[in-house]
A and B are shown apart, each in its own frame.
Chain A
Amino acid sequence: MVELATRTTQVTQDEVTPDIVGGRPSAHTPRADLDVPQGGCTAPARADAAQRFRSMGLPRPRDEYWRYTDPALLNADAPAAVALNGDEFEMFDHVDRLRLIFVDGVLDAAASDQGALDGVQIERLDQADAQPDHWVADIYGTLEQAGQSPVPRPFAAMNTAVARHGLAIRVIGTAPRPVHLIYRRSDPAADVMLHHVIKVDAGAELTLIETGMSGARSNALIEADLAPGARLHHIAAIRAGVDRVAVSHLFGRVAEAASLKSFVLSLNGSLMRHETVVDIAGDDSVAHVAGAVLGDGAAGPFHHDDTVFVTHRAERCESRQVFKKVLKNGAVGVFQGKILVQPGAQKTDGYQISQALLLDEDSQFLAKPELEIYADDVRCSHGSTTGAIDPTALYYLRSRGISRDRAIVLLVLSFLADALAEVEDDELRVEISERLEGWLNRHALASGPAVGTA
């Protein structure tokens, strides 16, 4: 069922800054100039990252991992303003959780929930940075750096070098309720950089939720270091204004018998690049990376890129990549996913699936699934499909009295079900499913989708 798409994509050229080097005149500091904070405990890591970034430079469309996604809007000196209406309204209101509010990428302590969470220590990144010998210095930039090989990730290096804001979260026990990072905006043109460091100690467990849109453009990075037996559930649900531009990275390191599960829901946005890099370093550990994307190009370009790299270098570990994209009105979805099994990573169980449901003939899905295996006793499978609504299933539902529009919503939800199943918490999954349904009711039916094979 492997289907390789080879066409490259085109982001609308008229909105694009041609080239950052000597590019369009701008009042802003050129993006390639880094303002690196000095003096904190993370300063050495930042200096290294700045060096890495300078040797890599900003990505170019001819770079191997940027062939399907034009980095111009990310490379531009400044983002275009994005009107403040149309952002995510609050999610998970009925879930008991600790809310931490960020406005334009800066923690707003006054607006956030007060009080502590048993088993979890949360500090602002800049506060942690200011303390000599803070634990954050042991992790900050190290997971990102490890994830730069073999694939360079310039925006991650840039982020490590300059990010001032974010959280240092240390989990020492089982968190009694989720930590919910809520991103809000007040400046329509905010260009946000966020870097969160999460250290989950042996046997500890945390659910981390992220919702909302942090800026007109954002570069967000999470480094998550899981000690033996640690568990981290990461659930991000981003519904954004249509013009959002974002790059994000999740770097995970998973020790023995630990479990990292990440699910990202993306709705709207004009250019999004989400990279997940997981280092499966300890035996008997688990890493699941999943995403559901709904893109409608009706109100402007929609381009969403999931780039995943999972490295197995321990025995008897399981990894899953499950990505589903629903695209219409010229929306473009990209999936570049790799499972690398290092020598000695025996009994690896690796799985990867990327699927697109195209609701019309204008949309496209570009997939590059990869397996690279250097151990001889492993089970790895991957598949990628692109299709349209199944006419027989549509007829079946309609023959029971369900309207065509409603039947299509049900079939899209059916298509997304495998990705959604990666959200283990019932309450969170149900709400995400309801959001999806709401979005579909608003978007997927605006014009008649193509039915049949695409």
Chain B
Amino acid sequence: MLEVTNLHVKLEDEDKEILKGLTLSVPASQVHAIMGPNGSGKSTLSYVLSGRDGYVVTQGEATLDGKDLLESEPEERAAAGLFLAFQYPVEIPGVGNMTFLRTAMNAQRKARGEDELSSGDFLRLVRERAKALDIDADMLKRPVNVGFSGGEKKRNEILQMAMLEPRMCILDETDSGLDVDAMRLVADGVNALRAPDRAFLVITHYQRLLDHIRPDVVHIMADGRIVRTGGPELALEVERNGYADIVAEGA
């Protein structure tokens, strides 16, 4: 589903290469985890795939369902089924969470040539999905992420994912700043979305999240490349021994 081939990316403002020939394939129905030390380029990968400004692709390609991702606008990628759960969700004062969700859903539906969701259908859906994530009516009414705790922000990201039903979900350190209960809630939300026609790329520092979201494949990333790929046991190895050995061996 997601194919990244020999991707080279540098910062727009300075001549610094962050991704140095990254290759990755995530088939439908699978959950892949990317682990790696700080500064290995994990977040950059998520930004480049979702279309954030400030990066230049110098070489390589990335496709979703065979269609080029890198040339299209962020909203086009979203409509094509890509979703990034942000490490630091952005606060938007003055814009209600519901308005935001509904605007996003209908924009994507419109871009795909589908009918907009009626108010009633939307409300039913959002209430049902919010409940599963322990998100109350007050959080839905409040401005997007404003005054939300760290856990609430992450749950709100998963709610957006549950509403938008993307094909390819990237989770960028969704576990950071979460306590054990919140992590379980988030993981349950993700697991509920696992489906044969959907894939996940879970970026994380720690093995802990992977106890809850069981990956099919684990990649270790270092210095802008995937240096090793394996099964879930690879995450346990990292937990025991750290990154140093794997990185040294991959270099």
Partner of A402, one of B77, B86, B103, B143: B103
Partner of A415, one of B94, B107, B111: B94
Residues of A within 8 A of B94 (CB): 413-418, 420
Known: A416-B94, A418-B94. A396 touches B89 (CB 8 A): yes
Contact segment of A4-12, A358-366, A387-395: A387-395
Whether the pair B90, A396 counts as a contact (CB closer than 8 A) is: yes
Q: Which residues of B contact A (CB under 8 A)?
A: 50-53, 73-75, 77-79, 83-84, 86, 89-90, 92-95, 100, 103-105, 107-108, 111, 143, 160, 164
Partner of B53, one of A391, A396, A416, A418: A391
User: A437–B77 Cα gap in the complex (Å)?
Assistant: 26
Whether the pair B84, A401 counts as a contact (CB closer than 8 A) is: no
Residues of A within 8 A of B51 (CB): 395, 398-399
Partner of A403, one of B75, B93, B160: B75
CB-based closest 4 A-B pairs: A417-B94, A401-B78, A401-B108, A398-B74
Whether the pair B89, A395 counts as a contact (CB closer than 8 A) is: no
User: A402–B73 Cα gap in the complex (Å)?
Assistant: 11
Known: A403-B75, A404-B75. A410 touches B90 (CB 8 A): no
Apart from A397-B100, A415-B94, list 12 A-B contacts with CB within 8 A. Answer: A391-B53, A395-B51, A395-B53, A398-B78, A399-B84, A400-B100, A400-B160, A400-B164, A401-B79, A401-B164, A410-B100, A418-B94
User: A399–B73 Cα gap in the complex (Å)?
Assistant: 9
A179 CB, nearest partner CB in chain B, Å: 29
Q: Please, which residue of chain A has its CB at the minimum distance from the CB of B74?
A: A398
Interface centre among A391, A393, A403, A407 (most CB of B within 10 A): A403
A174 CB, nearest partner CB in chain B, Å: 30
Q: How many residues of A contact B (CB 8 A)?
A: 25
Whether the pair B74, A399 counts as a contact (CB closer than 8 A) is: yes
User: A399–B75 Cα gap in the complex (Å)?
Assistant: 5
Residues of B within 8 A of A407 (CB): 75
Whether the pair B164, A410 counts as a contact (CB closer than 8 A) is: no
Residues of A within 8 A of B104 (CB): 397, 400-402
A371 at the interface (CB under 8 A from B): no
Whether the pair B92, A402 counts as a contact (CB closer than 8 A) is: no
Residues of A within 8 A of B105 (CB): 401
Partner of B73, one of A391, A398, A411: A398
Whether the pair A400, B52 counts as a contact (CB closer than 8 A) is: no
Whether the pair B75, A396 counts as a contact (CB closer than 8 A) is: no
User: A393–B79 Cα gap in the complex (Å)?
Assistant: 18
Q: Please, which residue of chain A has its CB at the minimum distance from the CB of B50?
A: A399
Residues of B within 8 A of A416 (CB): 94
Q: Please, which residue of chain A has its CB at the minimum distance from the CB of B54?
A: A391
Whether the pair A403, B107 counts as a contact (CB closer than 8 A) is: yes
Known: A400-B104, A400-B164. A393 touches B92 (CB 8 A): yes
Residues of B within 8 A of A418 (CB): 93-94
Interface residues of A in 296-313 (CB under 8 A from B): none
Partner of A395, one of B74, B93, B95: B74
A406 at the interface (CB under 8 A from B): yes
Whether the pair B107, A406 counts as a contact (CB closer than 8 A) is: yes
Whether the pair A395, B52 counts as a contact (CB closer than 8 A) is: yes
